[in-house]
Amino acid sequence: MPANGLHLLPMASSHRGGLSEACVQCSEGKKMVLFVTGLCRFRCFYCPVSSRRNQIDATYANERLVTCDADVLDEARSIGAAGTGITGGDPLGMIDRTEHYVRLLKEEFGPSHHIHLYTHEPNAEKLQRLARAGLDEFRLHIPHYLWGPLAADGGAYRSVLTEAPSWGIRRGVEIPVLPEKEAELVRLLQALDEIGVDFVNLNELEFSETNEEKLHDRGYELDPSNGWGVRGSRAVAQRVVKESRLSIPVHYCSSRFKDSVQLRMRLHRRAERTRPPFAETTSDGTLVFGVVPAPPGRDVARWAERIARRYRLGPKSYRVDFGRRRLELGAERLRRLAPTLGAPAFAVEEYPTADALEVEREPLNREAFAGFTAGGT
Ligand code: SF4
């Protein structure tokens, strides 16, 4: 409940003043994440981009590798996206590609499809280009060594943030909270208040597989009571939001909010739209169903047809995944069939995402494993 202008959100997140429309859509799982490129010239020591994507020039729509425009549009439809967040790497480093996607999404889904973008580059010319293409909002990532009054070297950031309203676009600042820089952060917020930016988003600094070593080298520690959060980051952010007497909206987004709320909601939306009728959705938004891998060397279609006939499987009660060479059906049904199947069977839990990441695999008939050969069922 709002208390003295302070709004508390789940997972220790909070805000003072209104939330950006992009943040609202994100918390409801309605934003597609369009990762335009892994390339970025800034190389922040805390960069969380995964090693699979970091400094690699590939585009992903959520977890889907993009090979053509249809991949982007299909992924947006698969979560019923109301908007898109463009990220990277630095999307301004690939300005032609970024502008192309802004235009593509607006043409396909109309002007109400809300698009926001993250960048480290205070480049007025590129941002104006994107504003003309239909970009609704940008969030500047101001480097920590420029936090403070945004004078001298911070001047380029100040001028972009000052000029942006005349380009017809909303502008905010989004930065991770480095716990030892509280004084500089408070001074920066005062400068942003003077400019009158539309909002400031503070993210919890967190460990990831890619930044772990660098964060440890700089003396940061894990907060043992707080997932992957860096000790002190949450406390500083919460204090700043609680005590700030600014006229601009300030929002603190915790790392657990991103995982437990934003991601979970997006998984549920994708599961609702894409899951096969025989799969069950868990409270985390993952899918549970049964799988029977095809024996090596067998024609998958004919093998699956034989099983379907033998066990009288109706057309909606199973499907064949030709890419992964396997038959899929309801987990409970397979549990009942498994003892007579003569081939290994599993109940699996997977993300309902394009990469279908497997979380867990439970064998249903261990006795079938020993005797299973290429000549099985
Ligand atoms: S600007 Fe973003 S993508 Fe680039 S290095 Fe910094 S955190 Fe990573």
> pLDDT by residue (tens digit) across 333-369?
999 999 999 899 999 999 999 999 999 999 999 888 8
List pLDDT tens digits, range 123-142: 999 999 999 999 999 999 99
Nearest CA to ligand 1 atom 5: 43
Is-contact 214 46, C-beta < 8 A? Answer: yes
Residue 271 has pLDDT above 80, yes or no: yes
List pLDDT tens digits, range 276-289: 999 999 999 999 99
Residue 267 has pLDDT above 70, yes or no: yes
46: left (phi over 0), alpha (psi -120 to 50) or beta: alpha
pLDDT band per the 50, 70, 90 thresholds, residue 372? low
What pLDDT score was predicted for residue 121? 96
Distance, first Cα to last Cα, the chain: 59
Residue 370 has pLDDT above 80, yes or no: no
What pLDDT score was predicted for residue 377? 54
What pLDDT score was predicted for residue 39? 97
CB of 93 sitting under 6 A from ligand 1: no
What pLDDT score was predicted for residue 368? 82
What pLDDT score was predicted for residue 3? 43
Q: What are the Cα distances from residue 218, in Å, to 179, 212, 213, 214, 295?
A: 12, 10, 9, 6, 51
Mean pLDDT over 73-99 rounds to: 97
Domains of the chain: 6-271 (3.20.20.70), 276-371 (no CATH)
237/32 Cα distance (integer angstroms): 26
Is-contact 33 77, C-beta < 8 A? Answer: no
CB of 140 sitting under 6 A from ligand 1: no
Mean pLDDT over 146-169 rounds to: 93
102/126 Cα distance (integer angstroms): 13
pLDDT band per the 50, 70, 90 thresholds, residue 30? very high
CB of 49 sitting under 6 A from ligand 1: yes
List pLDDT tens digits, range 291-307: 999 999 999 999 999 99
Rounded to the nearest angstrom, the distance between the alpha carbon of 43 and the centre of ligand 1 is: 6
What pLDDT score was predicted for residue 375? 44
Mean pLDDT over 309-324 rounds to: 95
Q: What is the pTM of this model?
A: 0.90
Residue 226 has pLDDT above 90, yes or no: no
Residue 374 has pLDDT above 70, yes or no: no
Is-contact 14 6, C-beta < 8 A? Answer: yes
CB of 40 sitting under 6 A from ligand 1: yes
| Choice from 41, 60, 141 to test ligand 1 binding pocket (greatest atom count within 8 A of CB) | 141
Instruction: Provide the percentage of residues in the chain whose pLDDT is more than 90.
Output: 80
Look at 8 and 138; give whichever has higher pLDDT.
138
Nearest CA to ligand 1 atom 3: 89
Exposure of 76 in the CB half-sphere (CA atoms within 13 A): 24
Residue 154 has pLDDT above 50, yes or no: yes
Residue 4 has pLDDT above 50, yes or no: no
